[in-house]
């Protein structure tokens, strides 16, 4: 039996009983209402009922054409989530997209412009100091403008996409702990520089209990120049990346929350492509294509061989993240290679999600600590609870990859934080398939994951599907 057939049979089995009960309930309610109404309005005709219903349907304020569905998190028809093209995002070859910049950025005669490498003696004491303190070469970063230009790494086809004029607003949340000044502020500046002002509600910086001097009063003073466009929330104790992101989402005011790490650079026209799929279906989480920024030279480059090379996120049973080429089915369903494509999971750092939908999902599991495993928790939760993940080829964001963490886990340093987090994910979402994780990680089988009541309540509240459904219908290829 093919995977597609298995998926169909599973859906039919899951829905059959609940569908019959739903039909019965609807018929009974309609019968009772009809009897009651006929007693109160004996002279009103059947045609008058039809006219009234048509009038109500036409007052909804939805300007979409007839037959175009507005989907939300309460809908039950989530099997094709992200599979259908957005009718309001239109490709016009040769005609510059409506959000494309009207003027090119000014290229200065300065270090690092156009994302070029800045080479400095790697053995110099100032470089050793920077790497030791921040995990990458902030000495070189400090030579480069906060508003430097970077190469447009998108496929040329991306320039011809036209997105809806009315898109949701975004709160870009940047969590940091003892981050270097220029990598952090270059993240903020790149977002402000390359985002449509009317779509960028705010940049929300979340300070996770930093103790570096440059992140205290100096930062407060610096942010005043942005007149409230950049807000700062400070945690009173170390919460860790996961909880700090949830805090950021809870404090955000935009329609969509966009998470970036504290050492990123947003590329040309990066934001509208992330927002458009969410405007079409708020249960979709969107993920940009992540470019690489060298931790030593700060050169900006594509991660993959070419702009048209596309990979989706998967995992193996030990819960190690991997990426693989798109399967033929996913390639063939899209008319253009630059259209968003579905992915079973994501790397975890950079993504956009509807703020209210994130709240309905309980944000991140509050029992997850510091860092690690949250990408699986959110991926499984989104798919199993009626949503989906889309990678967006026309949204590019650069990210600095460092080879070591420059700080510890605070009071949890030395404890099995990541292993415990993964145990929570397995026990909350993977059902009987958790046994395959324990085959790979037998030492984690008897580890105490902590209280899972709240995490399981979210699953119950949202009527989420089984992990068997996820494996068959979303991620059939797991190594």
68-103 pLDDT, tens digit per residue, is 333 444 444 455 676 677 889 999 999 999 999 999
Q: What is the tens place of the pLDDT at every residue in 214-238?
A: 999 999 999 999 999 999 999 999 9
Strands 264-266 and 388-400: antiparallel
**56 exposed, middle or buried (CB, 10 Å; 0-12, 13-18, 19+)?**
exposed
Task: Classify domain 90-314+324-400 at the CATH topology level.
Answer: Spore Coat Polysaccharide Biosynthesis Protein SpsA; Chain A (3.90.550)
Calpha distance 2→14 (Å, rounded): 18
The residue with tokens 């004491």 is: 125
Which pair of structure tokens corresponds to residue 127?
């470089």
All CATH 1.10.8.460 domain ranges in the chain, comma separated? 415-473
**CA-based torsion, 133, 139, 143, 149: positive or negative:** negative
Structure-block tokens of residue 36: 């009651």
Rounded to 5°, angle at Cα 262 from 261 and 265:
80
CATH 3.90.550.10 in the chain: give the residue spans: 90-314+324-400
Tokens of 207: 């300070």
Name the nearest CA neighbour of 387 among 286, 471, 251: 286
Q: What is the pLDDT of residues 274-308, one digit of tens each?
A: 999 999 999 999 999 999 999 999 999 998 776 67
pLDDT band for position 25 (cuts 50, 70, 90) = low
Give phi and psi for 11, each to the nearest 5. -60, -45
The CATH number given to 415-473 is 1.10.8.460
Residue pair 312/341 in contact by the 8 Å Cβ criterion:
yes
Q: What percent of the chain has pLDDT over 70?
A: 82
Nearest CA to 461 out of 374, 375, 386 is that of 386
pLDDT score at 5: 53
Compute the radius of gyration of the chain from its Cα atoms. Answer: 25
């Amino acid at each position: 039996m093919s995977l597609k057939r298995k998926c169909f049979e599973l859906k039919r089995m899951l829905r059959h009983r609940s569908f019959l009960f739903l039909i019965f309930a609807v018929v009974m309610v309609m019968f009772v209402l009809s009897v009651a109404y006929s007693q109160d309005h004996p002279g009103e005709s059947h045609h008058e009922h039809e006219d009234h219903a048509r009038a109500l349907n036409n007052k909804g304020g939805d300007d979409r054409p007839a037959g175009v569905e507005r989907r939300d998190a309460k809908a039950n028809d989530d099997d094709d989530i992200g599979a259908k093209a957005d009718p309001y995002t239109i490709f016009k070859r040769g005609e510059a997209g409506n959000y494309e910049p009207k003027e090119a950025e000014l290229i200065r005669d300065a270090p690092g412009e156009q994302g070029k490498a800045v080479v400095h003696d790697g053995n110099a004491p100032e470089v050793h100091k920077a790497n030791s303190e921040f995990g990458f070469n902030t000495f070189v970063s400090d030579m480069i403008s906060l508003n430097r230009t970077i190469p447009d790494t998108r496929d040329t086809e991306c320039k011809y996409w036209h997105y809806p004029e009315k898109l949701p607003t975004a709160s870009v949340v940047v969590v940091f702990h003892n981050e270097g000044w220029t990598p952090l502020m270059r993240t903020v500046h790149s977002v402000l520089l390359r985002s449509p002002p009317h779509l960028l509600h705010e940049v929300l910086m979340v300070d996770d209990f930093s103790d570096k001097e440059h992140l205290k009063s100096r930062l407060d003073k610096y942010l005043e120049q942005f007149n409230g466009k950049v807000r700062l929330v400070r945690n009173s104790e170390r919460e860790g990346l996961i909880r700090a992101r949830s805090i950021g989402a809870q404090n955000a005011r935009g329609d969509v929350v966009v998470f970036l790490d504290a050492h990123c650079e947003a590329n040309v026209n990066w934001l509208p492509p992330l927002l458009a799929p969410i405007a079409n279906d708020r249960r979709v989480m969107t993920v940009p294509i992540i470019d690489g920024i060298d931790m030593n030279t700060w050169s900006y480059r594509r991660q993959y061989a070419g702009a048209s090379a596309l990979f989706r996120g998967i995992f193996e049973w030990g819960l190690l993240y991997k990426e693989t080429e798109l399967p033929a089915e996913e390639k063939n369903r899209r008319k253009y290679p630059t259209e968003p494509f579905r992915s079973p999971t994501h790397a975890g750092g950079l993504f956009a999600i509807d703020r209210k939908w994130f709240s309905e999902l309980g944000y991140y599991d509050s029992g997850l600590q510091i860092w690690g495993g949250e990408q699986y928790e959110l991926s499984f939760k989104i798919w199993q609870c009626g949503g989906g993940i889309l990678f967006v080829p026309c949204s590019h964001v650069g990210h600095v990859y460092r080879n070591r963490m420059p700080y510890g886990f605070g009071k949890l340093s030395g404890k099995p934080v990541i292993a415990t987090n993964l145990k929570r994910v397995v026990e909350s979402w993977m059902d009987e398939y958790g046994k395959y994780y324990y085959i790979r990680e037998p030492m984690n089988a008897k580890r105490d994951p902590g209280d899972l009541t709240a995490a399981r309540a979210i699953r119950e509240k949202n009527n989420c599907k089984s992990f068997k459904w996820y494996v068959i219908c979303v991620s059939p290829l797991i190594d």
